[in-house]
Amino acid sequence: MRLLIARCSVDYAGRLAAHLPEATRLIMVKADGCVAIHADGGAYKPLNWMNAPNTIVDNGDHWVISNPKQETLTITLHEVFSDVEQELGDDPGLQKDGVEAHLQELLAAQPAAIETGLTLVRREYPTAIGPIDLVCRDADDTVVAVEVKRRGEIDGVEQLTRYIDRLKLDSSLGEIRGVFVAQVVKPQARVLAEARGFRCVEVDYDELRGMRADELRLF
């Protein structure tokens, strides 16, 4: 990973045009080619970014990042304060809390609880940016990527979007659609998911476990 702290301006050209005026920012370049520009605020979300696969051309005082969609991100470096590269190595991935991990296991064992006719291809399906919770095929043999969360929020929808973008790089998979599964899907997440063509499914954890209705629930 390369971390650059610099006074920079950023211009994006693609589906629309966007400009970040000159300011001091953190520029993050990951080993897979992902580039993200961060301000000192706003939690983890970058001001602008370009997902892999990318081509990065370093012209000294400015970088030009482009992707197969003909989008470009031009970062003009006015002053560089720090430029550090560090090999991070393999990451073991996110260790999910007990309920979320168990929910994923239950759905892998009974994918029809998500959708009638769904069959499991693989749990923790590997991609270059992390494993997809479940990859299935539906009754029409279409590939279905499933992201499982305890609480369905916007972050989970964004995660599913990135995973599907990775799967689409494999032309042998054909058409791919997404399903966002959670015990509760927040309204904003539902709106975003549906806008991106994903189905939202709410599941009952206790029902999946076969718990009797009169037993104490975890939540």
Q: Are the C-beta atoms of 24 and 81 separated by less than 8 Å?
A: yes
User: Which pLDDT tens digit goes with each residue over 75-106?
Assistant: 999 999 999 999 887 766 655 555 788 899 99
Interval 168-182: pLDDT, tens: 998 899 999 999 999
**Residue in this structure with the two tokens 């995973």, named with its chain if needed:** 163
Q: Is residue 216 over pLDDT 50?
A: no
Written as one letter, the residue type at 204 is: D
Residue labelled with tokens 């499982």: 148
3-class SS of residue 71: coil
Q: Report which secondary-structure segment, H or E, holds 161.
A: helix 154-167
pLDDT at 136 over 60: yes
- Which residue from 164, 199, 181 is spatially nearest to 104, judged by alpha carbons? 181
Helix (H) / strand (E) containing 21 = strand 17-29
Domains in the chain: ranges and CATH:
2-85 (2.70.180.20), 98-209 (3.40.1350.10)
